[in-house]
């Protein structure tokens, strides 16, 4: 339940670029009084108040909510959702009437367990790759199943593995070895089960909705770039950049996404007795014009947030309030038709070992863009690096090339020791939109 008040106090949990984008947008709402971010970063402190708390320490979160008279909590990252922060609020007499934007533990299994998600997709006849799950007792059956597939093979740890639990392997014996390694503890508790899938060939995109458990609103779609190197080469990262809109996600394709994926997902959740309140991230692949689900996430993506949130022209808090009050269907969303692109500036060595505490210069020289902070903190009067992905430079343009040009001009104005960024974001879409 949400109180009837002209202005609300919000707590956003998390510390990355997604949380800065949410803070930046919600600070523009006339319905918001104050925004608190826990723990936040150097950028979020410009639009709100950072709180020293661990989102996985629910008692710390509770104290912050009560001390700061928080009216709504928005959960940015997946780990607190999978660990049951929504359930924690519902069971606490002091918190149960404070809405949490993010699913409860049962619903968050869509992201927290790949085995659960694949079973859900299959039962509800939602397009996805053929798969089978294995645990310690059935590990011996892995070779036989692999022989039913054509390479490459997709090997996934069942649980959350900080974005590292998905492997694509060309050779069958190497796939067997990786499956054994995952069950053997390579990703800790996340690997108590391993999911093996048929590889789908196509081009990926991310689609997002916000839902109150009954109705939903479609948010802008995006395409992100995961590999560290130019031309999508090298190691996987949390994301090196993103673009929105996605040119091939036209009206025909998105109609298929709604009818074949989003609406069956909403119906499936309802049929299974799962009340889902918050954001759903559909990781999709376009296979010759047909959408298939690669994965679900129980929250917004990062760096996708840094392109989809700037495209929302209407009041984002109005949608948040619609989830809290259960009347989302009556709310409106207005989307900016322009392109928004973002380029991620990362620490040298990322996604491997990297150093922190490097002074960031040039932030005051940027223009015609928004610089979202991801891995930063304030050290006295200086902003310094505190993570692998440091800053996301986001810009608008009538053409993708125009938006990217502004991103890269501004990226050149920013410097810190070891800075690196990809210069080819959007390269695979250029024939369709430049």
Q: What is the pLDDT of residues 232-287, one digit of tens each?
A: 999 889 999 999 999 999 999 999 999 999 999 999 999 999 999 999 999 999 99
Q: Which helix (H) or strand (E) holds 11?
A: strand 8-14
- Predicted confidence at residue 432, as pLDDT, reads 53
> What's the pLDDT at 1?
52
Sequence-distant (6+) residues with CB within 8 A of 30 are 7, 315
For residue 162, what pLDDT is reported?
73
The DSSP annotation for 242-296 comes to EEES-TT--HHHHHHHIIIIIHHHHHHHHHTT----EEEEEEEEEETTEEEEEEE
- Residue entry with tokens 């269907």: 329
pTM, 2 dp: 0.95
Query: Residues of the chain whose pLDDT is less than 50?
Result: 433-434
Residue 236, pLDDT score: 87
The pLDDT, as a whole number, for residue 164 is: 74
Give me the half-sphere count of Cα atoms (radius 13 Å) on the Cβ side of residue 218: 14
C-alpha angle with apex 279: 282 to 194, nearest 5 degrees?
50
d(CA 84, CA 81): 5
**Pairing mode of beta strands 100-101, 166-169:** unpaired
Give pLDDT, residue 380.
87
Q: Report residue 270 as tokens.
A: 């309802």
Could you give phi then psi for residue 354, rounded to 5 degrees? -150, 160
**Distance between CA 395 and CA 369 in Å, rounded?**
5
């Amino acid at each position: 339940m949400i109180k009837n008040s002209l202005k609300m106090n919000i707590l956003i949990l998390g510390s990355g670029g997604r949380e800065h984008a949410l803070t930046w947008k919600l600070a523009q709402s006339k319905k918001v009084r104050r925004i608190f971010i826990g723990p936040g970063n150097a950028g979020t402190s410009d639009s709100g108040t950072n709180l020293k708390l661990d989102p996985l320490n629910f008692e710390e979160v509770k104290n912050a909510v009560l001390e700061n008279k928080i009216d709504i909590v928005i959960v940015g990252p997946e780990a607190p959702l999978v660990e049951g922060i929504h359930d924690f609020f519902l069971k606490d007499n002091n918190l149960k009437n404070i809405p949490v934007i993010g699913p409860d533990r049962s619903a968050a299994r869509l992201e927290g367990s790949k085995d659960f998600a694949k079973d859900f997709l299959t039962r509800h006849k939602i397009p996805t790759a053929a798969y089978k799950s294995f645990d310690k007792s059935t590990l011996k059956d892995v070779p036989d199943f692999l022989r039913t597939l054509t390479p490459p093979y997709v090997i996934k740890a069942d649980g959350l593995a900080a974005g590292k639990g998905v492997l694509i392997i060309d050779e069958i014996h190497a796939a067997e070895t990786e499956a054994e390694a995952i069950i053997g503890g390579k990703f800790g508790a996340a690997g108590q089960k391993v999911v093996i899938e048929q590889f789908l060939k196509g081009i990926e995109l991310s689609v997002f909705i916000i839902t109150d458990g009954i109705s939903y609103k479609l948010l802008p779609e995006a395409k992100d770039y995961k590999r560290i190197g130019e031309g999508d080469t090298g190691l996987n990262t949390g994301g090196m950049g993103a673009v929105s809109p996605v040119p091939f996600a036209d009206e025909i394709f998105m109609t298929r996404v709604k009818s074949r994926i989003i609406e069956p997902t909403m119906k499936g959740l309802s049929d299974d007795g799962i009340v889902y309140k918050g954001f759903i991230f559909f990781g999709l692949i376009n296979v010759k014009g047909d959408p298939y689900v690669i994965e679900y996430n129980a929250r917004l993506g990062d760096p996708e947030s840094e392109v989809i949130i700037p495209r929302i022209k209407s009041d984002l808090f109005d949608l948040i309030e619609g989830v809290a009050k259960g009347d989302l269907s009556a709310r409106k969303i207005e989307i900016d038709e322009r392109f928004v692109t973002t380029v991620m500036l990362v620490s040298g060595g990322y996604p491997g070992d990297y150093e922190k505490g490097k002074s960031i210069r040039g932030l005051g020289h940027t223009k015609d863009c928004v610089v979202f902070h991801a891995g930063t903190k304030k050290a006295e009067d200086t902003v310094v690096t505190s993570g692998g992905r440091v800053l996301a430079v986001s810009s608008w343009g009538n053409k993708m090339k125009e938006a990217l040009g502004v991103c890269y001009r501004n990226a050149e104005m920013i410097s810190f020791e070891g800075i690196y960024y990809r210069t080819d974001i959007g390269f695979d879409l250029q024939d369709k939109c430049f």
